[in-house]
A and B are shown apart, each in its own frame.
Chain A
Amino acid sequence: MTVVVRIAAHVFKESVRDKVLYNLVLFAVMLMAASYLIGQLSAGQDVKIIKDLGLAATQVFGLFIAVFIGIGLVSKEVERRSIYSLLSKPVRRHELILGKYAGLVLTLAVNITVMAMALYLVLGYMSWTETEEFKQNWETPATDPALLQALFLIFIQLMLVTAVALFFSTFSSPILSAVLTFGLYVVGHFNTDLRNFENIVDSQAVGILAGVVYYLLPNLAPFDVKAQVVHAQPISFGYMALTSGYAGAYIGALLLAAIFIFSRRDFK
């Protein structure tokens, strides 16, 4: 366990050294600039748009970190040949995979926490500068705690994407891993269509195959509750728990597959 924590801490330090957290500055500047500009353009919809923008930007920045760092977690060690010195130490292969994953998840957690704080700060400022009468027209308060539900599911989704990237990283090149991870991310938003495929095709076999693919591929659409939260639509605890549970099981399966493949790789 200690080894996993040490590797995780190393991955986190490396991401700080690589200036990954600089994206936080960009995020904060973008939010502040947008809050000023959008107020002039959106006919009183500035708080809604800042919420939409803040949540979407958190997801996009997180996605890029998850994919572009995730794909290099293992393959970079192999390319640099530093994997030999790593494996010559008392580090077991599964510890390396788990530690790398935990380190990137920690980076994402810090990233999302700081972004959430920046978003709440901007929204709090907007709320503070508005009149009480104007605020009554908002569907939800500017600093609505329900935004945390959307941020939490974004984080869980990014954990899943990180696991996908790490999985591909154990057996393919960084470029191919990036293509495959982005491909799965896109497909993951469309695969609900596969569930209804059997109703529109004549062949039963194709329908069953589509059903199998539906359950096999990651279903990322349920993690998106941004619009519901912004429009004050309630997200039940049961929904959050089931969606998180799904992610937990899927991440577990991906990490297990990654460990299995990595354990059998020959680095001689």
Chain B
Amino acid sequence: MRATGWWERPASCAIVLMLLGGLSLSATVARDRLYAGEQTEAQLLYIPSGTVLERVALSFDALLADVYWVRALQHYGVTKRASGEKRYDLLGPLLDITTSLDPRFNVAYRFGAIFLAEAYPNGPGRADLAIALLEKGLAVMPDRWEYYMDIGFIYYWWLRDYEQSAAWFSRAANVPGSSWWLRSLAATTLAAGGSRELSRQLWQQMYDSADNDWIRNESARRLTQLRALGDIDQLIGAAQEFHRDTGRPPRSWAELVDAGLLVGIPIDPTGRPYVIDFSSQTINLSPESELYPLPGESLPPPPPSP
């Protein structure tokens, strides 16, 4: 009888295959852990032009747009969660490619504008790119009153240009089928632009009329930020009262609690304690808070690398 080699026996073959599979898996895991910094592939845009991609995709452009949309989401999410310096360099190009491949990708325009306008470190703080993206959408779908409204919001919230904001709300109101409250919003923005009460009303309207969870959650977050701003006003009042009574500014929250001006260490709506800066005598959110930074207090984006 012919002696058979181990490679001809199913059991020994299966064992060796499992061993080799385990070895391959271990090597991959070790390489990913040890050399994570060297994996730059995910940050590359192989073809930076949406127009070229649209031609290359033949009739599969919509599917490719989906791929780029998921890539844009991942880029935004991963960068936002990353520790250290956050670079959102690819967000604009990825969204541009997505909307070039599928010019009617509604969510890519609306969510994309939210991501782009978000101040650093939660976003690149590129209100200009956000407006350009929405205007690109309007060139294809001029009847989308939501895009006019979103541009108005960006001018109001991030750029604090209330005249432009009112003009865009007015344009939104002129689109047939738009929400009834946009007309009065345009007028109020001009009259009381920048007031916290108007901001609250704006975001409440946005929350009530949101057509998806993301925009609803974003509006809820803004409303909570406005609540935190109200809290900070009250805390500043308490600190000023302490200063008046004692002739010096407070050195800690405990002093304000001892003076009976606060019932305890003040915490923001997400449960993080507020931070008092004794050198500048300012009160702000903790940088770890989900609401940080408050509008108007965002950090500038890092300078572009050479």
Tell me if A45 and B69 are in contact (CB < 8 A).
Answer: yes
Chain B residues lying within 8 Å of A41, measured Cβ to Cβ, are 70, 73-74
Binary interface encoding of chain B residues 115-129 relative to chain A, with 1 for a CB under 8 A from any of its CBs, else 0: 000000000000000
Q: For residues 41 through 80 of chain B, which have their beta carbon under 8 Å from a beta carbon of chain A?
A: 55, 58-63, 65-66, 69-70, 73-74
B212 and A52 within 8 A (CB): no
Chain A nearest CB, measured from B76 CB (Å): 10
Complex contact B63–A56 (CB within 8 A): yes
Are B73 and A53 touching (Cβ within 8 A)?
no
The contact of A44 among B60, B62, B66, B213, by CB within 8 Å, is B213
Complex contact B69–A227 (CB within 8 A): no
**Complex Cα gap A60–B214 (Å):** 33
Per the bound structure, the CA–CA distance linking A71 and B111 in Å amounts to 46
Residue B102 at the chain A interface, CB threshold 8 Å: yes
* Cβ-defined contact, B62 with A233, below 8 A: no
Interchain CB contact under 8 A, B73 and A56: no
B74 touches A53 (CB 8 A): no
Contact between chains at B107 and A59 (CB < 8 Å): no
Interface size in chain B (residues, C-beta < 8 A) = 22
Q: Is B211 interfacial (CB 8 A cutoff)?
A: yes
Among the interface residues B58, B59, B66, B213, which one has the most CB atoms of the partner chain A within 10 A? B59
With A43-B107, A44-B107 as given contacts, are A52 and B62 in contact (CB-CB < 8 Å)?
yes
Interface size class of A (residues with CB under 8 A): 20 to 34
For the complex formed, measure the closest distance between the CB of A232 and the CB atoms of chain B, giving whole angstroms. Answer: 9
B interface footprint on A12-51 (CB within 8 Å = 1, 0 otherwise): 0000000000000000000000000010011111001100
Contact A136–B59 (Cβ < 8 Å): no
User: For residue B59, which residues in chain A have a CB less than 8 angstroms away from its CB?
Assistant: 59, 189, 220-221, 223-224, 226
Closest beta carbon of chain B to A225's beta carbon, Å: 9
Question: Considering only CB atoms, which chain B residue lies closest to A221 in the complex?
Answer: B59
Residues of A within 8 A of B111 (CB): 43
Interface flag for B221 (CB, 8 Å): no
Establish whether residues B66 and A45, one from each chain, have CB atoms under 8 Å apart when the complex forms: yes
A-B contact sample (11 more), CB < 8 A, given A48-B66, A226-B62:
A43-B214, A44-B213, A45-B69, A49-B66, A56-B60, A60-B60, A134-B213, A221-B59, A227-B62, A227-B102, A227-B104
Question: 6 closest A-B pairs (Cβ-Cβ)?
Answer: A224-B59, A227-B62, A231-B104, A56-B63, A189-B58, A49-B66
Interface residues of B (CB under 8 A from A): 55, 58-63, 65-66, 69-70, 73-74, 102, 104, 106-107, 111, 211-214
